[in-house]
Amino acid sequence: TCSEITLRQEVLKDGFHRDLLIKVKFGEGIEDLQRCRLLIKQYIPTGLFVDPYELASLRERNVTEAMMVSENFDIEAPNYLSKESEVLVYARQDSQCIDCFQAFLPVHYRYHRPHSKDGETFTVVSNPDLLMYCDQGKGCKCFLRVEKE
């Protein structure tokens, strides 16, 4: 078990096309993180979408390891006609932090209903599920699962 896990999500860039940066820092519970893989299950709210074709292109160029879990969703649909989706992304170890992993997902805003007031809308991105697999050698495997509340 881990003493502490710190999760930080940051939205980078402005406008309709942004990047969601996910950073995970582990406390003193796991000894050799170089033997571990961290899989992030990110929930994408109806106000955003992830383009599966863009993910495929990023995988081919080895930029990110991510794939859509949700099927049959319309990337052109406005937020009020869309459903929440899910993306699986493998986080990579952060070269600047020995206990850290990070991943990024390109996300895009959906069109919303017109507003008569100031025109601002807010989209909340919830915490992802974290699934970790560690090969501790000698046939010993360690699994960690942290689910959103």
**Number of domains comprising the chain:** 1
pLDDT digits (tens, 9 = 90+) for 56-80: 999 899 888 898 888 777 888 999 9
3-state secondary structure of 35: helix
User: Cα-flanking dihedrals φ and ψ of residue 75, to 5°?
Assistant: -70, -15
pLDDT band at 48 (very low <50, low <70, confident <90, very high): very high
Rounded Cα–Cα distance for residues 85 and 45 (Å): 7
Specify the CATH number for the domain of residue 42. Answer: 2.60.40.290
Predicted pLDDT at 2: 47
Please give the C-alpha separations between residue 25 and each of 16, 29, 31, 91, in angstroms, as whole numbers.
Answer: 29, 11, 13, 11
Percent of the chain residues past pLDDT 70, beyond the cut: 86
Average pLDDT, the chain: 83
Rounded Cα–Cα distance for residues 117 and 62 (Å): 43
Can you give the residue range of the structural domain that contains 65? 5-145
**pTM of the prediction?**
0.83
